């Protein structure tokens, strides 16, 4: 079974509109972390935002916020006031692991969503 599911292979959004990128996850761990990364056409992987499983508040970083719904196992990324430079691939990733075990803290990745911002 997929551990990270991103159901939107691609999205077109008008500049200045808000956009929500979907991510659902599957884990039996109580302690885990959820990440969003952006990959522009140049190829580098850029960290955007993090949400811990025990965090009670939704994470925010500038124009990025994470809509964390733990019971539904979803961690959607919201980009407010989209800009042309937001056009990129967006990846949701999860790190599982408990402190008690020798966790390897690897990231498990979704397939990504290609976001294109239209002027």
Partner 1 sequence: DSGVTQTPKHLITATGQRVTLRCSPRSGDLSVYWYQQSLDQGLQFLIHYYNGEERAKGNILERFSAQQFPDLHSELNLSSLELGDSALYFCASSVDSELMNTEAFFGQGTRLTVV
Residues that bind partner 1 (CB under 8 A): 31-33, 35, 37, 42-47, 50, 52-53, 91, 93, 95, 97, 99, 102, 104-112
| Residue number, 18 or 45, with CB nearest to partner 1 | 45
What separation in angstroms does the CA of 34 have from each of 5, 14, 85, 86, 109?
Answer: 12, 27, 23, 20, 10
For 41, counting Cβ atoms within 10 Å of its Cβ (0-12 exposed, 13-18 middle, 19+ buried), the class is exposed
**Closest distance between partner 1 and the C-beta of residue 13, in Å?**
23
Note whether 114 and 41 are within 8 A (CB).
Answer: no
Structure tokens at 40: 């522009």
**Closest distance between partner 1 and the C-beta of residue 112, in Å?**
7
| Residue number, 56 or 102, with CB nearest to partner 1 | 102
| Residue number, 85 or 119, with CB nearest to partner 1 | 85
Whose CA is closest to 68, among 116, 1, 106, 20? 20
| Residue number, 41 or 119, with CB nearest to partner 1 | 41
**Closest distance between partner 1 and the C-beta of residue 48, in Å?**
9
**Closest distance between partner 1 and the C-beta of residue 14, in Å?**
28
β-strand pairing of 74-79 with 113-118: unpaired
């Amino acid at each position: 079974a997929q551990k990270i599911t991103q159901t939107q292979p691609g999205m077109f959004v008008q500049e200045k509109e808000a956009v929500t990128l979907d991510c659902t996850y599957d884990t039996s761990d109580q302690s885990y972390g959820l990440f969003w990364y952006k990959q522009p056409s140049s190829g580098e992987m850029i960290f955007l935002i993090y949400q811990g499983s025990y965090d009670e508040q939704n994470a925010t970083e500038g124009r990025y916020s994470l809509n964390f719904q733990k019971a539904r196992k979803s961690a959607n990324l919201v980009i407010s006031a989209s800009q042309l430079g937001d056009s990129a691939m967006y990846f949701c990733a999860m790190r599982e692991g408990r402190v008690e075990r020798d966790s390897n803290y690897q990231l498990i990745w979704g397939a990504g969503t290609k976001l294109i911002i239209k002027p």
